Amino acid sequence: MSEPVDSGEPPPGLRLTTAEWGLWQAFRNGTEHDLRHGEAELDDPNGDHVWGPERTVRARVIALLLLHGPPPLLGRVASLHLTGALVTGCLDLAGGSVETYFELRQCRFEEEVRMPEARVNTARFVDCYLPRLEAARLTTEGDLHLPRCSIPEGVRLTDASIGTDLLLNAATVGSGPRNRAIAADGVSVSQELQASLLVTDGQVSLRGASVGSSLHMFGSVLRNPRGRFALYAPQMTVEQVASFGDAGRGSAPQIYGTTPPTGTRYDFGGQGGAHSWAPGLPRTGWDPHRTKHFQCTGGMVLDDGRFGSSLVIENARLQMQRDQELSLRRIATPELTFTPQLPERGLVVLSGASVEKLMDRASSWPGDHRLWMAGFTYQHAIPKEGHFNVRERLQWINAATAEYAPEPYEQLAAMYRNSGEDTNARQVLLAKQRRRRETLPLPGKLWGVLQDWTVAYGYRPAQAALWMALLWLTGAVLFQAHRPPALKGDESPHWNAALYALDLLLPVISFGQDTAWDPVGGYQWLAAAMILAGWVLATTVAAGATRLLRRQ
């Protein structure tokens, strides 16, 4: 980089216009150079009104001020504040080092802005029209702000490093002839990435992105009608909260930003005009007291993401095709809030995900086997809205398992057991055995039905006790009325019908009655049936008790 112009005068031959001369002096003074007319319609950078030479500044002059600018006036700090200008030519800062602060507001750029490999302190484009922003591997010491900007041909921030905040609030970004509206793979943001009320037409790619604080997408509208994914952000790391929810009163502080600079307004105004690039995606004002929903038209992929505090997908509108997914494979987070509107099509995938607390609602989960969650683990499941009882949880598992798999049932039962809800845990394990029975051959199915009908696979001890009591009472009454003859005459013990029936039912314990009497005819068959029933009840109870003890 060459030395600044020490005299403070522009280079010979530059031939500054009146608008540019004013900008030159404002730069040295550190003040704003405002070229607006004062009427909102005439000053809209997206409008169809012609901006004449009195508002025109060459991109070459801006680049000269930023890269090789004159020294400030005594007692002042040089900075570039340009408002309401038509910038002609390509603003090219590629590979350069910009030490001064610069902010351009309500400016209309004729060509793309290029900042790849550049190093800047803080860069702010507020409510501007930029055909495209090329800023791969950009490094900033402070913020990069693009609030309320219209960028019809997309933004490229691949491997950029943002020193504090990246703001895209209320921006409108298209993809032009490309597939991606925002290409930010590998971007690193030291503090917050705020993209609330963002409207995109094309894929938003944040693969491998790193956010040092929180990611907010309150009320954003992401659309990619030409591709499979609207948001593609696998392997993303967010140290605190990642939010995809409603923009309303509660989210207004995050939308307005925590570190707005002096002179940067976040009123989310603006009207569509000649530069409105996508029909159906108008730039509209927003009232923080009105709710605006997060919408995603296309797949949403957050696979292998790490969220240090929580991942929130709340009341979102997801519109997917049959082959598209909301994919949360192998994510890890202490808390997952999942309460979107039920998507009509597409899959919801939680395979391999690990969360400590799941907060959800029953109506958010799809049925018809459009939910995949093999290997999904959670410690607690808490309904955020309405009720989510054990029967609904079982329907939730059935929807996720087209074929029988034991893991979801085991996970749900462990959650109930850890919460002290043993009755619900046993009900889940009973449902698991019934589902498993469907996969067995005919003999196994018959044996399973018998176990279910008699003792509910050992998960309902009271049911086994009831059958034992009923058989014992029936046998005692029948044998009391028809005592069988003794085997050894006077050596037989004193007859006791109740003990005799109990002796027949219990396969191990003996009271000496069953070996002393010899039933005949139909009562012999009755005794044999009670012996068999006793073995069935005893073995199934023992098997159930063994399972319970092993799990405990």
Averaging pLDDT over each range in 236-250, 383-397, 471-485, which range is the top one?
A: 236-250
Give the pLDDT of residue 280: 39
Half-sphere exposure at residue 104, Cβ-oriented, CA atoms within 13 angstroms: 22
The mean per-residue pLDDT over the stretch 330-359 comes to: 94
Percent of the chain residues topping a pLDDT of 90: 53
Averaging pLDDT over each range in 204-208, 370-374, 414-418, 432-436, which range is the top one?
A: 204-208
423 pLDDT tier (thresholds 50, 70, 90):
confident
Query: Is the pLDDT confidence value at 266 over 60?
Result: no
Q: Where are the alpha helices (DSSP H) in 8-137?
A: 18-29, 40-43, 59-68
Tens-digit pLDDT profile for residues 489-504: 666 677 766 766 666 6
Give the pLDDT of residue 477: 75
240 pLDDT tier (thresholds 50, 70, 90):
very high
Give the pLDDT of residue 67: 94
Query: Is the pLDDT confidence value at 237 over 70?
Result: yes
The mean per-residue pLDDT over the stretch 419-445 comes to: 84
Give the pLDDT of residue 529: 73
Q: Which helix (H) or strand (E) holds 400?
A: helix 390-400
Contact 145, 264 (CB under 8 A): yes
Contact 218, 242 (CB under 8 A): no
Percent of the chain residues topping a pLDDT of 70: 79
Q: What is the dihedral of CA 126, 128, 134, 140, to 10 degrees?
A: -20
Instruction: Average the pLDDT over each of 128-142, 214-228, 273-287 and give the range with the smallest value.
Output: 273-287
262 pLDDT tier (thresholds 50, 70, 90):
very low
Give the pLDDT of residue 232: 97
Query: Is the pLDDT confidence value at 1 over 60?
Result: no
Query: What are the domain boundaries of the chain?
Result: 15-129, 456-550
The amino acid at 538: A
Query: Is the pLDDT confidence value at 267 over 60?
Result: no
The mean per-residue pLDDT over the stretch 196-213 comes to: 96
Give me the chain's average pLDDT, please: 84
Nearest to 42 by CA among 273, 354, 345, 378: 273
547 pLDDT tier (thresholds 50, 70, 90):
low
Instruction: Average the pLDDT over each of 165-174, 321-330, 470-479 and give the range with the smallest value.
Output: 470-479
Query: Is the pLDDT confidence value at 53 over 70?
Result: yes
Give the pLDDT of residue 96: 95
- The whole-angstrom separation of Cα 283 and Cα 34 is 23
Q: Which two tokens stand for residue 64?
A: 């000269």
Query: Is the pLDDT confidence value at 3 over 50?
Result: no
SS (H, E, C) 196-263: CCCEEECEEECCCCEECCCEECCCCEEECCCCCEEEECCCCEECCEEEECCECHHHHHHHHCCCCCCC
Is the pTM for the entire model greater than 0.75?
A: yes
The more confidently predicted of residues 50 and 8 is: 50
Q: Choose the CATH number for 456-550 among 3.30.1360, 1.10.3470, 1.20.120, 1.10.287.
A: 1.10.287
- The whole-angstrom separation of Cα 337 and Cα 260 is 29
541 pLDDT tier (thresholds 50, 70, 90):
low
Instruction: Average the pLDDT over each of 177-181, 270-274, 434-438 and give the range with the smallest value.
Output: 270-274
The Cα diameter of the chain in Å comes to 138
Give the pLDDT of residue 522: 73
- The whole-angstrom separation of Cα 267 and Cα 170 is 10
Nearest to 346 by CA among 369, 375, 330: 369
Give the pLDDT of residue 274: 39
315 pLDDT tier (thresholds 50, 70, 90):
very high
The mean per-residue pLDDT over the stretch 477-491 comes to: 69
- The whole-angstrom separation of Cα 80 and Cα 91 is 14
Instruction: State CA 390 to chain mean position distance.
Output: 24
Pairing of the two strands 354-360 and 332-339: parallel
Those residues with Cβ within 8 angstroms of residue 199's Cβ, 6 or more apart along the chain or in another chain: 171, 172, 173, 220, 221, 223, 281, 283
Tens-digit pLDDT profile for residues 91-146: 999 999 999 999 999 999 999 999 999 999 999 999 999 999 999 999 999 999 99
The more confidently predicted of residues 61 and 393 is: 61
